Structure 1
Amino acid sequence: MHNKARLKSWVRAYLQTLRNFARSLKSYWVQPFRMLPFSSEIIGPPKGFYLSTRDWITKTKTSPEKFSENYQEIYPKSWVYRAAPKTMDDTIHWKFPQQYQREAPDAFLALINEGRVWSGGGTVITPDDRVLADISKEIGRSMENHSIFSQWKLPSVEKIEGTVAVLSAPLGQVYFHWMLNVLPRIDLLRKGAVSFDKIDKFLVNEILHPFQRETLNKLGIPDSKIIESHRGTHLKAKTLLVPSIPGKPGNVIPLWTCEFLRNEFLDGTPLQKSACPERIYISRSKATHRRVINETEIVSYLEQYGFQSVQLESIPLSDQILLFSSAKVIVAPHGGGLTNIVFCNPGTKILELFSPNYVNGCFWTISNHLDLDYYYAIGKGKTPPINFDPHKVEENIEIEISAFKNLIKWLGVG
């Protein structure tokens, strides 16, 4: 079993190396097209990029009045402070102390006349043929290596005579990113100078799951106004409204995103909490990766103390919200399902399980915002050196059962 897993991991790493090499060659071959006196609407990639939307407006607008027409700050930048997580390990994993204090950038709304958008992640291109780096990120890549700069010709542009709001974000079709990177941008649109009702179309990530359409409809976006972004997307709008992507890498999830989700989705939750279990284990048995290898053993032990195992894939979103808002103790391997802790009540105990090769503090961040009682445990395996992140996102988790039993008793629920 372990040899097969190592082989699969090696094959994935080898194929990724080949893909990166191919991209480098393609990018090098495409560079001369950037020197041509034509816009990327016609041929070649954009001419370059601005590090921030503010930079673009500052360099192209002639007066403060023009600046304010194109850039509206909704939430000012702020500092995020976090309490240490709780663990039975001798030391706290090095990733957490690095994030005890982080700066959250300002959240803004940009208006771009004759702006363009490319591909599924919502890459924004200015009228002077530059990419806006802060609202056009690709996960795991620097702006210099953004995939748009390896395109010798973008798809034919679709022109829209109206106002288009950009909600598409990197990995936006994934539940965590949809809830925390896509939907909160609607809050910025609502607080902007342009009336929400006057927006003609909303560009969102490709809709692959029921929760996407369900949440958009609830937030006032009908199907008739939805445009899905994908690999072949290249549109140009008379007016492009682009809310900033909340937070930034390093688990900087702003408080306002959590408050927005709670205000929008908790208020309509039916009062059926008496029917929900107070102690739940979130199973990833249906997932293709990051499963708990000895989950049967873990669940069997937890059931003795009133825990109920749930598979969120088979539960409607409204019921998931009810489930998490009713729970008092939640145990789960790291995964998108834990996004729903945003709907938990203060004091709820959260125990998150990690592989030693992939520790991610995003749910610890949410727990701090909402005064949840956060714990974590790291499964079996060789511990990587401090400050080295193997980032094996797909690695399965194996929990030492005797240590787990001690942990549950330490939590005061066993």
Structure 2
Amino acid sequence: MNVFPHLTYHRTRDWAAGAALNLQQFQEMYRVLYPAETIILPPPKGVDTPRWGSICHSDEAFVAVIPGGRVMTGSGHVVTPDHRRLQDVELPPYPYPFNELPEPQYTPETVATLMWGWNVPGYAYHQAIFGHWFFDYLPRIHLLEQSGIAIDKYLVGQLTYPFQYESLQMLGFPMEKLIQVDRNDFHLVANKLVVPAIPFLIGGCPSWASQYIRTRLKNASIAPRPGYERIYVSRQDAFARHVINEEEVMQVLAEKGFVRIVLTPLSTADKIAIYSSAQVIVAPFGSGSINTVFCNPGSTLIELTPITVMDGYFWKISNHAGMNYYEVLCDIEQPPKPLAGFDNLIVDIDKLKRVLHMAGI
């Protein structure tokens, strides 16, 4: 049973249906906190043709309780007592150079796993990506709170950035109960393993997650910040999707009262204050636009997107916040980057001016 399993349940619901002896036990093992939802959002605005539809579907969000459940590898794969992985609460496995793990550590406690994605020390941390942290990790805490299940310990991948600690503290998270997983061969079996699940792969960013982040963090007595009514978010601190003609872009924007900001040096409280003060945001496609969750209804996001990226993620988040969303499609720097979506972009200044005019700026 120490061999990493290749058999899976496609859905956690399928495991619970087979393991439960009756309906009551099924409902204890598999608790739906938010049903699947389908909503219609306003289409993107701009001079480019919208590239996706307005209908958004999110699968149900649930909490599973697995007696004798296991967590295997540093990436936190959830394994049932009949030695199958739960496929709807994981990303495809990282290609670890081993197939067998040490004997599991047993705990008689109730353990909740907040883990998702890759957590490979020294190589890849999904929880270190700002966007994933805020919408694929933190809302799991909300699901656990809503479930009412008493948790003794929480598992999370290794924390490496201040924004992770800051946001947990702002949520009032019990840090003394947190276990950071920092080994590839991690193997734990719990008396009860509690697994909160967000529908990432089907729709992503459900409206309830936006509402949770906004109400719990924005309402943390953080005052708005004058002077940031119009902001341009530079990606000079990022490893990809730089704006090649950024100075030319800033020349246009500065004439309209925009200030340039770089997000990495800012604290979580700083970001909340700035975005809740902003009336208009111009930003290249990237995780920084997660912060639009803190914007006020009626504000505007103008997203600069390389032609090689088609992703409505921030369109959806900004619409959940009641914002106006515009997309400016941009050509890319040649030659293209080896990885799709990592291309640097070149903004068509005339197109940008037209979109600014459309937005009343």
- Give the TM-score taking structure 2 as reference length: 0.91
Name the SS for the 1:350 alignment partner.
strand
Asked whether the 8 Å contact 2:241–2:345 carries over to 1, the reply is: yes
Name the SS for the 1:68 alignment partner.
helix
Name the SS for the 2:185 alignment partner.
coil
Q: How does 1:92-241 map to 2 (within 5 A)?
A: 92-93=50-51, 96-97=52-53, 100-138=54-92, 146-147=93-94, 151-170=98-117, 171-195=126-150, 199-230=151-182, 231-241=184-194
Map Cα deviations across residues 236-286 of structure 1 (whole Å, 9 max, x no partner): 111111101x2233643211001101110111133243x241000000011
Q: CA deviation at 1:151?
A: 4.4
Name the SS for the 1:314 alignment partner.
coil
Name the SS for the 1:239 alignment partner.
strand
Name the SS for the 2:205 alignment partner.
coil
Stretches of structure 1 that go unaligned for 5 or more consecutive residues are 1-38, 139-145, 383-389
Q: CA deviation at 1:225?
A: 1.4
Q: CA deviation at 1:223?
A: 3.0
Stretches of structure 2 that go unaligned for 5 or more consecutive residues are 118-125
Map Cα deviations across residues 331-379 of structure 1 (whole Å, 9 max, x no partner): 0001111000001111111000111111211000112222210000111
Q: CA deviation at 1:114?
A: 1.3
Q: CA deviation at 1:153?
A: 0.7
Residue in 1 aligned with 2:353?
405
Which of 341, 344, 348 is the matching residue for 2:295? 344
Q: CA deviation at 1:47?
A: 5.3
Distance 1:120 1:346, change over 3 A: farther
Name the SS for the 1:172 alignment partner.
helix
Distance 1:381 1:210 in 2: 32
Name the SS for the 1:412 alignment partner.
coil
Q: Runs ≥4 in structure 1, deviation > 4 angstroms? A: 147-151
Name the SS for the 2:109 alignment partner.
strand
Q: CA deviation at 1:57?
A: 1.1
Residue in 2 aligned with 1:84?
43
Distance 1:185 1:277, change over 3 A: same
Q: Does 1:45 align with 2:4?
A: yes
Give the structure with the larger helix fraction: 1
Which of 229, 238, 242 is the matching residue for 2:195? 242
Name the SS for the 1:298 alignment partner.
helix
Q: CA deviation at 1:133?
A: 0.9
Q: Does 1:271 align with 2:223?
A: yes
Asked whether the 8 Å contact 1:173–1:208 carries over to 2, the reply is: yes
Q: CA deviation at 1:92?
A: 2.1
Identity in percent? 35
Asked whether the 8 Å contact 2:74–2:157 carries over to 1, the reply is: yes
Distance 1:293 1:154, change over 3 A: same
Distance 1:313 1:47, change over 3 A: closer
Aligned amino acid, residue 264 of structure 1: R
Q: CA deviation at 1:406?
A: 2.6
Q: CA deviation at 1:147?
A: 4.3
Map Cα deviations across residues 52-103 of structure 1 (whole Å, 9 max, x no partner): 11100111221112212211111111112222100212x222xx12xx2232
Name the SS for the 1:292 alignment partner.
coil
Name the SS for the 1:380 alignment partner.
strand
Name the SS for the 1:379 alignment partner.
strand
Distance 1:47 1:311 in 2: 43
Distance 1:240 1:250, change over 3 A: closer
Distance 2:170 2:179 in 1: 17
Which of 61, 69, 76 is the matching residue for 2:20? 61
Distance 1:227 1:349 in 2: 39
RMSD, aligned α-carbons: 2.0
Name the SS for the 2:331 alignment partner.
coil
Residue in 2 aligned with 1:34?
none
Q: Give the aligned length.
A: 348
Q: CA deviation at 1:213?
A: 1.2
Q: CA deviation at 1:226?
A: 1.3
